[in-house]
Structure formats: structure tokens, C-alpha cells
Structure 1
Amino acid sequence: MELAKEIAKGAEEEGAEVRIKRVRETLPQELQSRIPLDKVEDIPEVTLEDMKWADGFAIGSPTRYGNIAGALKTFLDTTAVLWKDNLLYGKPVTFFTEASTIHGGHETTILTMSTYAYHFGMVIVPVGYGIPELFQTTTGGGPYGATHLGSKEELDEMERKIARFQGKRIAEVAKKLKS
């Protein structure tokens, strides 16, 4: 959730109106106690109306075995009505993730999320190498998007800078595409 907040701060610095939302958890109740849901319980759940409203998106997911969390996939599967009516076509999107280990699937998770964007005809906005901190970090992201090494409790300064850069970038692209 901290990466989402930093991305939001970067977008807000560019003048974007930001809504942080979450997907409904789909894990069985007996397994939910193993994940820190208390950190997101005050954040409203995303709706299809939120997707229509937004000019651009930053979509994130914890890494689950090198893949996106099932709850995000379940939500994205409900967006077929938006796809059918081309309601997300041309909108920019960027991706971010967190994994417990350096080689725990950061890049594969972001690439997995991006497949939805291709089907919608969205404009994928990567971080690229537009920020020098990417050459100085071993945990805070890469050209695909901001990431967090979940075995560390807090985001480090590099992770924060990369996430804010990503937020600014998605806001800049959304503003240009809307005009």
C-alpha cells in the first residue's frame, strides 16, 4: 500500500486528482489472517465506475509466486463490460508490485498485469530508465515499474523516489493524452 501512496503523491504533484482504491479480497476467510488486511481496511474498494472515471491508472499487486494476486485477477475479469464498450481504450496505465525476495517475481508480476492493458488497447507507461535512482538500487524497481522488497518493513528512499517518479509520469501522460 505504501508504494501506491507514493505513486499517488507523485501524481498529485503533477496536479492529478487521485483516488486510491483496493480490490475485494477473495482468499478464504481462514487464510486472510495471514495477510496484512488491516493496512487496507479503510481504503474503499474499486468499482467499474472508478475505472470509467479515471484518465489513467497505476495498478499494483503483491507478487504471488511470480504472478498477480487472485483478488486482482478476479476484479480485472469483471471489467469485460468496459472492454466490450472500449471504455478504457487509449487510457494510460502503469504497474507496480512488491515481493518478499529480490528474485521473487517483481518483473513477471508487472508483465502479467500488463496483458490486460493490451486487450483494452491501453497505453502502457513504464518507468523506463528515466530516473537515475534505477541505476543505484537493487530493490526499488526497474524499467517496468516501482517495486518494494517486502522483507523490509518500510520503503527505502530509493523506492520512494522511483514510485513518485512513476506517479508523475503517469499523470503527465494522462494529461497529454486527454488534451
Structure 2
Amino acid sequence: MSHKVLVLYYSKHGATRAMANKIALGVEQQGLEACLRTVPEMSTNIGDAQEPVPTSGDPFVSHQDIQDCAGIALGSPTRFGNMAAPLKHFIDSTSALWLSGVLENKPACVFTSTSSMHGGQESTLLSMALPLLHHGMLFCGLPYSIPQLHTTLTGGSPYGVTHLAQGKYPNKLSEDEVVLCIEQGKRLATLVNKLRD
């Protein structure tokens, strides 16, 4: 079984990418390799071609990345209470992987960021969880045994870690959010290790 955990995200302004990096840190603290991947922007203009590789940042995800992983952390900013279109577009392309059952019994978690306190964080997390459940994955939330889930005044949810992107530095994670992201990655990696054993 693979030792790689895929941390797959879409980030428009950098907040979701910051979360992905902290989740990856938590994965690696449990002795697994975190594989950070993103998805390309979508264009509504016919004829606008996307670059085959990003000009900077993490590489674009491939179906092979999904086949090779032992677990997935899936993240997106909130768009009207749902995941962003670029991530949904990629997920919609995974039907062949669904037919093969390659993700069955692998753990997965979700994460999101919004610019308002009640901007649809939990509905976005649930929207991302649904295709993972259809793939037969095992959903991994955040338990309330993590103290920061009780004390956070910004992001945090038992369905998955969240971030509230407000203030002078909207992409800067709060101390509680950093801890929750790392704990999310650690919990995902712990489940991967237990299932592997």
C-alpha cells in the first residue's frame, strides 16, 4: 500500500493553499509523505487554453496521483455554499476511477475557507464529502477531543477544518486554525497507518 497522502486543493487567493500546507505538515508528522496538488483555473471564454503545468506553486493533479494515494485531503474555498468549480470539474472527471473502485476503503477529509463567518463552510465541506463517499472512501472529521475546536473564534468544524479569511491579512491562519489543520492531517495519516497495518 502507498505511503502517500494526496492533499488536493483549489485556492484562488492563497488561504486554502495555506491550509493545505499545514494539513500536509500534520501528515508528515505521522511519518507519511504528503503529495500537494492543485487544479487549473477554469475559463468561461471559449478558446482560452490553460497552461499544461502551473507557472508557480504545486503541480496540477493527475488521475495517477489519485490511484497512487493511500488517503486524500480535499480542499476548496466556498462558492455559494459549495466547492469551487475548478475542483468540482476535476472530481467530475474521475468516473473511471469510481468504476474501478481504486479509492474504496481509503480515508479522506475535507477543508474549506470563507470570507464571512456564516458563508457556507459546513455545506461546502459536505459538498466535498459526497463524491468521496460515492468513491467508497472512509470520511474523517475532526473530533471535539481537540481543544481548539471548542475555543476557536475563527474557523473550525467537526466535519473538517475551516478558515475565516477576514481582516488585514485574510490568508493568515489563526493559531487555532493552524493547530486544527495540523491535527486534521495527523488524524488522516493515523487512519492511513491503521488501515495499512
Q: Same fold (TM over 0.5)?
A: yes
Q: Which residue of 1 aligns with 2:133?
A: 118
Matched, 1:159 2:177: yes
Distance in 2 of aligned mates of 1:139 and 1:105: 14
Once the two structures are TM-superposed, the CA of residue 63 in structure 1 deviates from its matched residue by 0.4
Unaligned runs of 5+ in 2: 1-16, 46-53
Number of corresponding residues: 170
* 1:48/1:79 contact within 8 Å kept: yes
1:40 Cα deviation after fit: 8.5
Secondary structure of residue in 2 paired with 1:96: strand
Report whether the alignment pairs 1:88 with 2:103.
yes
* 1:75-103 deviation digits (Å, cap 9, x = unpaired): 00111111001000111000000000010
Q: Please give the residue correspondences for 1:163-174 in structure 2 after superposition, counting only pairs within 5 Å.
A: 163-174=181-192
- In the alignment, which of 9, 28, 38 is matched to residue 44 of structure 2? 28
Partner of 2:10: none
Q: Which residue of structure 1 lines up, in the alignment, with residue 80 of structure 2?
A: 65
* Change over 3 Å in CA distance of 1:172–1:40 after alignment to 2: farther
Match of 2:65 in 1: 50
Q: Which has the higher helix share?
A: 1
In the alignment, which of 24, 30, 38 is matched to residue 8 of structure 1?
A: 24
Cα distance in 2 for residues equivalent to 1:116 and 1:130? 27
SS at match of 2:141: coil
Rounded Cα–Cα distance in structure 1 between residues aligned with 2:37 and 2:125: 18
Identity in percent: 41
1:97-136 alignment runs, 5 A limit: 97-136=112-151
Q: Secondary structure at the match of 1:142?
A: coil
Matched with 2:9 is none
Q: Distance in 1 between matches of 2:192 and 2:149?
A: 23
Mapped contact 1:27–1:71 kept (Cα < 8 A)? no
Counterpart amino acid of residue 176 in structure 2:
M
The superposition leaves residues 105-160 of structure 1 with CA deviations (integer Å, 9 ceiling, x where unpaired) of 11000000011122111000001213011110121211011111112331111000
CA–CA distance in structure 1, aligned partners of residues 55 and 107 of structure 2: 25
Task: Output the aligned Cα RMSD.
Answer: 1.5
Q: TM-score, normalised by structure 1?
A: 0.91
Q: Structure 2 counterpart of 1:150, which letter?
A: A
- Distance in 1 of aligned mates of 2:114 and 2:19: 12
Structure 2: how far apart are the matches of 1:117 and 1:85?
A: 14
Counterpart of 2:193 in structure 1 is: 175
Does the 8 Å CA contact 2:18/2:171 hold for their aligned counterparts?
no
- Taking structure 1 as reference, are residues 54 and 40 closer, same or farther at Cα in structure 2, changes over 3 Å only? farther
**TM-score when normalising by structure 2:** 0.83
Q: Which moved more, 1:136-145 or 1:70-79?
A: 136-145
Mapped pair 1:79 → 2:97: no
